[in-house]
Amino acid sequence: MNYGVIGAMPSEIAGIKEHMENVQEHKAGSLVFYTGQIGQNTLTLVQCGVGKVNAAITAQMLIDKFNAQAVINTGVAGALGKDVKVLDVVISTEVVHHDADMRLYKKYPPFVDGFYGDPTLVARAAAAFEAMDHGNSHCYLGKIATGDQFIESSAVKADIVARHNPLCVEMEGAAVGHACTANGVPFVIIRTMSDNADEQGGMSFDAMEKVAAKYSSNIVVAMVGGK
Ligand code: SAH
């Protein structure tokens, strides 16, 4: 299998790159793609930058230029689900844009109102989490909401929950899911909580980003390292 793996920030790809063998670097436009092996699989790893447009463009490049057959988006997120805590993991069964009018998306071709994580990739990511030493972390399967802002407000958080009822919020997943769905390529989003998307969100992010990013990376490495 040829996987494309996207992280937005350096912390989100570092823990994967260190496990890759025979790494080759390819520059394409302003991006750097790393192709190599983990176990029996080939992967192309890339840091896309923060936000939806960066993520969508990069997913398309992975598919067109690097023949990605499946795309994994790995990283950190703000917890929204009632029981979801910092360092818990959320794996996408579905991703939505919380800052776009999905009712209009649904009304016109291609009639999308959400993007669905591939069940096999979701199951493989969940199995990888279960098999690793995950301390007190829990893994949840469910909906992720994506938008082009860092959420650090209880009021904004409550509004996103009221409209979409997701487990977590981040800034790239729906764009990756959107691009992959348009191309007919399976995808999954794997996020470890760095914060609670509330007034302490920025501080928590700063403290937890690296350790949370590593959790998600470990899941990706275990998933891709298998058959
Ligand atoms: N406070 C940081 C924010 C960086 S952007 C800063 O000012 O530099 C946050 C990144 O982590 C994005 O790539 C996003 O996908 C994810 N993320 C983590 N917590 C988030 C939150 N509460 N809201 C939105 N995105 C979040």
Q: Provide the pLDDT for residue 227.
A: 59
Return the half-sphere exposure (C-beta side, CA atoms, 13 A cut-off) of residue 59: 30
Judge contact between 42 and 5, C-beta under 8 A.
no
Told to judge if 101 belongs to the known catalytic residues of this protein, a careful annotator would answer: no
Looking from the CA of residue 196, the nearest atom of ligand 1 is: 22
Tokens standing for 70? 């499946």
Distance in Å, CA 219 to ligand 1 centroid: 20
198 pLDDT exceeds 80? yes
What percent of the chain has pLDDT above 90? 96
Distance in Å, CA 94 to ligand 1 centroid: 19
Told to judge if 195 belongs to the known catalytic residues of this protein, a careful annotator would answer: yes
Out of 12, 172, 198, 209, the active site residue is: 12
Residue-by-residue DSSP string for 94-137:
EEEETTS-HHHHHHSTT--S-EE--HHHHHHHHHHHHHS--TT-
Which is nearest to 75 in space by CA: 11, 126, 149?
11
Which among 52, 167, 171, 214 is the best mutation to test ligand 1's pocket, defined by most ligand atoms within 8 Å of the CB? Answer: 171
Q: Provide the pLDDT for residue 113.
A: 87
16 pLDDT exceeds 90? yes
Mean pLDDT of 62-86: 97
Top pLDDT among 102 and 62 is at: 62
Taking only the tens place, the pLDDT of each residue in 137-155 is: 999 999 999 999 999 999 9
Mean pLDDT of 125-133: 95
CA–CA separation, 146 and 97 (whole Å): 5
Q: Provide the pLDDT for residue 81.
A: 94
Mean pLDDT of 121-141: 96
Residues with CB under 6 A from ligand 1: 8-9, 50, 75-78, 150-152, 169-172, 194-195, 197, 201-202, 205
